[in-house]
Copies of this chain bind each other. A is one copy, B any other.
Amino acid sequence: MAEKKKTNIILFSGDYDKAMAAYIIANGAAAYDHDVTVFHTFWGLNALRKDEKLQPKKTFMEKMFGKMMPRGADKLPLSKMQYGGMGPKMIKAVMKKHNAMSLPDLIDMAKEQDITILACTMTMDLLGLKEEELLDGIEYGGVAAYIAEGEDGAINLFV
Q: Which residues of A contact B (CB under 8 A)?
A: 5, 7, 10, 12, 14, 17-18, 21, 24-25, 27-29, 31-32, 34, 41-43, 61, 64-65, 68-69, 79-81, 90-91, 93-95, 97-98, 100, 122, 125-128, 143-144, 146-148, 150-159
Contact = CB atoms under 8 A, between A and B. Distances in A.
Given A21-B42, A150-B155, A153-B154, 6 more contacts: A12-B18, A14-B80, A29-B151, A32-B144, A94-B126, A156-B156
Nearest to A145: B28
A28 B155 contact: no
Nearest to A100: B126
A7 B5 CA distance: 17
Contacts of A143: 24-25, 27-28
Contacts of A28: 143-144, 146-147
Contacts of A10: 21, 25, 157
